[in-house]
C-alpha cells in the first residue's frame, strides 16, 4: 500500500517498489521488524509497544523511500540509489 501511495506522486510503481525495497534492504528494516516481532511480550502493553515499533519501522521505510525519490525527482538517480541500496552489504563484524 505504501508503494502505491508513494507512486501516486507521479512515479512509476515498479521504480517506486525498487526504491522502497532497496531502502529496506540497505537499512535492514525487514530484519529489525522480524526481531521486534520475535520479542517476548507478557502484557497487553508490551504487545502494543511491539506492534507500534513495527508500524514505525514501516513508516520510516516509506518516508525514506519518498525522500530518495523526491531528491532524485523519480528519475535515473533514484534508480541508481535503489540499485546501490539493494546491492550494498553491511560490513561484517570481526569474529572474536
pLDDT digits (tens, 9 = 90+) for 34-65: 999 999 999 999 999 999 999 999 999 999 99
Closest among 55, 13, 14, 17 to 33, alpha carbons compared: 55
Whose cell is 521488524? That residue is 33
Determine the Cα–Cα distance for residues 68 and 85; give it in Å rounded to an integer: 11
pLDDT at 77: 55
**pTM, entire model:** 0.70
Amino acid at each position: 500500500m505504501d508503494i502505491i501511495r508513494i507512486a501516486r506522486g507521479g512515479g512509476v510503481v515498479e521504480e517506486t517498489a525498487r526504491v522502497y525495497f532497496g531502502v529496506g534492504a540497505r537499512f535492514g528494516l525487514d530484519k529489525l521488524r522480524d526481531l521486534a516481532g520475535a520479542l517476548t511480550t507478557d502484557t497487553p502493553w508490551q504487545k502494543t509497544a511491539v506492534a507500534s515499533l513495527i508500524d514505525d519501522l514501516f513508516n520510516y521505510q516509506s518516508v525514506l523511500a519518498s525522500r530518495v525519490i523526491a531528491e532524485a525527482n523519480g528519475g535515473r538517480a533514484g534508480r541508481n540509489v535503489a540499485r546501490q541500496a539493494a546491492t550494498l552489504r553491511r560490513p561484517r563484524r570481526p569474529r572474536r
